[in-house]
Structure 1
Amino acid sequence: MTNSTNCSNIIKLSYNVQLIQVIIYATIFPFGAIFNVLALWVFCCKLKKWTETRVYMINLVIADCSVVCTLPFTVYFLWNDWNRDTLCLTIQSIYLINMSMSSYIITVISVDRYIAIKYPLKAKSLRSPWKAGLICGLLWVSTITGLNIKQKRNEPLCFQKLSTKPETSVLYFLIFIVLIPLIIVSFCSMHVIRSLKKKMITNSNKNKLIEKAIYIVSANMIVFIVCFLPAHIGMLARFVVEKNFFSCLAIQKIRTFISVTTCIANSNCCMDAICYYFVAKEFQEASSFHNPNSHHPETKQTPPLSVEDSRNAGIKMLQHQSQK
């Protein structure tokens, strides 16, 4: 395709865009590395009880740590127009797999939270640490297997798409990695918020606790949308432009947009780290609130006596599930 060849030099990133990438990644890397290592230490070593939240959060921290570790390589590859060799493919695979896992785990936590609040009686049978571990294991296996197919793309440079040939695989990537998780996260979050607001009307003495839960859910949903959506809208726009081949200039502008918004998506690792603090804080408060002979709300074996008691327990569980 002649257009593809003619565009290869035009759609390359400008020096200013590359410089912006370097500055942003140089900021994300140290903060992301420090906060994620600390978070991993807290969730693996400091917490005493294994809960669904702890299992999900450890997997989320591992995914974020892996993404952070790829950032220096990504900057170096982009700055030096690195060829797609074995090292490039390895780093690219680690990056794609763990970014996808981050999206999936956030989605699973949203569903877990939805079940805890909307169906508190069923939650005791549907939720458990070993089930959370099984879900995460299946997600890792399916993500690693599925995204290996994407690495077959024939591009000369690492982390760069210079051809203008549209790839149908991009649509599958957008649907399964972004669109479906976005719909699920939004649906679960909105229903949880609605349920909690109704709870505020009937239980004024618990309003402070409920307001905090609403804030957590709202913040998590907004961060997910802000971090993941823009870059993938850019990818969809590029697919449409390439499919109809408007012009090299249009593709170049979209590629610049994707490059900048991808930096925003990668800043998600630091956003998670901020949430880790609140999760750990909630666990500490929960431990000090209950007396030594009482059980944690998430690990009680005796089911709640009523739907009302169950919903109260669900709100407490929600306090321990602040992720993104």
Structure 2
Amino acid sequence: MGCFNKTEVLDTSLQLLNLVTAIPIFFFGILCNALALWVFCCKVKTRTDTTVYMINLIISDIMVLLTFPFRMYAYMHSWDLGSETCKALLTLYYINRYMSIFIITAIAFDRYIAIRHPLKFKHWRSPLKATIVCSVLWSVLTAIGVITVLQSKGYTLSTCFQKVTTEPLNLALVFVVVGFGIPLILLSYFSGHVLIILCSKETSEVSERRTIRKAMNIIISNLVVFVICFLPIHVGYTIRFVTDSLNSSCLMRERVNVYIHVATLLANSNCVLDSVCYFFVASEFWESMFAE
């Protein structure tokens, strides 16, 4: 007999946790991202590689947020909207979650070469090249997402957004390593080198020192937010893969599922926290926001 009731929705405490967290994330996420998209698309006059990356990051965050009402429904009711709808929503969710991760990494790389090699790799930085990078990412992630969800057997007709089988997902570790581990290493490397460069800058100008300190705080904040949002969920995926592979007890698997559920809420909060990038990283945002 399996460990999970395939028709059972989440218990009351997890449902309440969803309401308390998911509704504010959805509301403020849609509001902030819609405002940012309007500014970058309609108010920013000069298109740069940074604005291209930001627009794609905003779109990916909005796509994740649009799955929230269906996720809430799946958590509180037995899923009755059909398997094809479930697969489409899962594909949309995972494609855009990892799109956000890769774009954040691309922004860090762009910032790194702009500061570390401003002349040597200047030809690498342009709106066209940023568009090509984003297009390749969208294409690759869409293909992988569709194939993965179509082959996944962990979700049933009655439990969309919840894995209820005890069979290990063989691609889980691939997503942990390629979808999070490698981006984390790259992001840490780029951010660390930029911080070292900024720390080594010597200036007697108070305003310039203040600007450098602000830039360093932004870089550190972005890295911390990335780790806080995405590390717990990928640790959870790894633990679940191990427990499923070792045929652990039902109690252990249920505890892991609860942990993953809470970690998912934390990961989803990144859709709002990305607003830090819009408001503090891109100077074009505020300059265009109040432009006539």
Which has the larger displacement, 272-281 or 163-172? Answer: 272-281
Q: Which residue of 2 aligns with 1:231?
A: 233
In the alignment, structure 1 residue 72 sits paired with structure 2 residue 69: yes
Q: Is the 8 A contact 2:50 2:282 kept in 1?
A: no
Compute the displacement of 1:209 (Å).
1.4
Compute the displacement of 1:284 (Å).
4.3
Q: Is the 8 A contact 2:278 2:285 kept in 1?
A: no
Distance 1:284 1:163, change over 3 A: closer
* Structure 1 CA distance for aligned equivalents of residues 281 and 181 of structure 2: 27
- Residue by residue over 1:233-270, the C-alpha shift from the partner in whole angstroms, topping out at 9 and shown as x without a partner, is 01111111111122111111111011011001001111
Aligned length: 282
Q: Which residue of 2 aligns with 1:96?
A: 94
Superposed counterparts of 1:249-264, under 5 Å:
249-264=251-266
Q: Is the 8 A contact 1:12 1:252 kept in 2?
A: no
- Residue by residue over 1:51-102, the C-alpha shift from the partner in whole angstroms, topping out at 9 and shown as x without a partner, is 0100000000000111111101111012113156111111111111111100
Question: Which residue type is aligned with residue 180 of structure 1?
Answer: I
Q: Which residue of 1 aligns with 2:203?
A: 203
Q: 2:2 aligns with which of 6, 31, 53?
A: 6
Compute the displacement of 1:282 (Å).
5.3
In the alignment, structure 1 residue 118 sits paired with structure 2 residue 120: no
Compute the displacement of 1:9 (Å).
2.9
SS in 2 for 1:245: coil
Question: Which residue type is aligned with residue 45 of structure 1?
Answer: C
* Structure 2 CA distance for aligned equivalents of residues 123 and 208 of structure 1: 27
* Structure 2 CA distance for aligned equivalents of residues 57 and 7 of structure 1: 43
SS in 2 for 1:182: helix
Q: CA RMSD in A?
A: 2.0
SS in 2 for 1:148: helix
Q: Which residue of 2 aligns with 1:217?
A: 219
* Structure 2 CA distance for aligned equivalents of residues 207 and 95 of structure 1: 41
In the alignment, structure 1 residue 23 sits paired with structure 2 residue 20: yes
TM-score normalised per structure 2 = 0.91
Q: Is the 8 A contact 1:92 1:159 kept in 2?
A: yes
Task: Please tell me whether Structure 1 or Structure 2 has the larger radius of gyration of its CA atoms.
Answer: 1
* Structure 2 CA distance for aligned equivalents of residues 281 and 121 of structure 1: 21
Superposed counterparts of 1:142-153, under 5 Å:
142-151=140-149, 152-153=151-152
SS in 1 for 2:2: helix
Question: Which residue type is aligned with residue 95 of structure 2?
Answer: I
* Structure 2 CA distance for aligned equivalents of residues 273 and 111 of structure 1: 19
TM-score normalised per structure 1 = 0.82
Q: Which runs of no fewer than 5 residues in structure 1 stay unpaired? A: 289-324
SS in 2 for 1:168: coil
